[in-house]
Chain A
Amino acid sequence: AQSVTQPDIHITVSEGASLELRCNYSYGATPYLFWYVQSPGQGLQLLLKYFSGDTLVQGIKGFEAEFKRSQSSFNLRKPSVHWSDAAEYFCAVGAGNNNDMRFGAGTRLTVKP
């Protein structure tokens, strides 16, 4: 079965600085990859997804992610972080057509003024 690892439990960045959140997956074939964001007390919101094609994916709120098959990674990036980006970020991997999607443990992002 597929699995996903988010190596960083908590990251702190200054407002205006760049951001990269790491995600590594394990799956034998081409996976479906997702990034979700969860603000406190809220549900998960889909930021972006990768199914196939261009390995650099653009999402909402200025986020992008790059699929690197050789590294089994799907890291999330943003060039300039805003205070409102403080939240929990989840990477997820799906496989095949069975809708079995696995979520990482999440990375909590704190933004310093």
Chain B
Amino acid sequence: DAGVIQSPRHEVTEMGQEVTLRCKPISGHDYLFWYRQTMMRGLELLIYFNNNVPIDDSGMPEDRFSAKMPNASFSTLKIQPSEPRDSAVYFCASSLRVHEQYFGPGTRLTVT
């Protein structure tokens, strides 16, 4: 199994630009999670999906953030417009059983 796949691994963009992060979950997993990791705030859950439906997006910081899961094998997290304080590592995770999550390698986002 290839595990959770995220792209790009690194993204550098200028403030105000749109950023799209991509995730392919493990095949057969029906839960997908987006997390953000920073030194100041640690690991924060942004949103999670079950069977492609958003279940809890209370962790999404602002309307500038949006996430979609058009099918069972693909999800995106979009930031528009991006700001320097969005700089972080963004992780995608998937699970089959409740709570037992498997993480991707992350996307390191730098907004200048």
Which residues of A are in contact with B by a Cβ distance under 8 Å? Answer: 32, 34, 36, 41-46, 49, 90, 94, 97-101, 103-106
Bound-complex Cα distance A44 to B56 (A): 21
Complex Cα gap A96–B93 (Å): 19
Known: A99-B55, A105-B42. A43 touches B106 (CB 8 A): yes
A105–B103 CA distance with the chains assembled, in angstroms: 17
Known: A34-B99, A99-B31, A103-B43. A43 touches B55 (CB 8 A): no
The reply to whether A99 and B98 contact each other, CB–CB distance below 8 Å, is yes
B110 on interface, CB distance cutoff 8 Å: no
Q: Within the assembled complex, what's the spacing in Å between the Cα atoms of A36 and B37? A: 14
Check A106/B42 contact, CB under 8 A, given A46-B100, A99-B31. yes
Given contacts A43-B106, A103-B42, contact A94 B91 (CB under 8 A): no
Of listed A46, A104, A106, residue having the most chain B CB within 10 A? A46
Determine the residue in chain A with the shortest Cβ distance to B43.
A103
Per-residue A-contact encoding for B85-108, CB less than 8 Å = 1, 0 else: 000000101010011111111100
User: Contacts A99-B55, A103-B43; is A46 near B99 (CB within 8 Å)?
Assistant: no
Give every chain A residue within 8 A of B99 (Cβ-Cβ): 32, 34, 49, 94, 99, 101
Q: In the assembled complex, which residues on chain B have CB atoms less than 8 Å from the CB atom of A104?
A: 42
B40-82 interface code vs A (CB 8 A; 1 in, 0 out): 0011010010100001100000000000000000000000000
How far does the alpha carbon of A66 sit from the alpha carbon of B53 in the complex, in Å?
36
B88 to chain A, nearest CB (A): 14
On chain B, the residues within 8 Å of A99 by CB distance are: 31, 33, 48, 50, 55-56, 95, 98-99
Q: How far is the CB of B21 from chain A (nearest CB, A)?
A: 13
**B4 located at the interface, meaning its Cβ lies under 8 Å from any Cβ of chain A in the complex:** yes
Question: How many whole Å from A80's CB to the nearest CB in chain B?
Answer: 27
Set of chain B residues within 8 Å of A41, measured between Cβ atoms: 105
Residues of A within 8 A of B91 (CB): 43-44
Contact: A43 with B48, CB < 8 Å? no
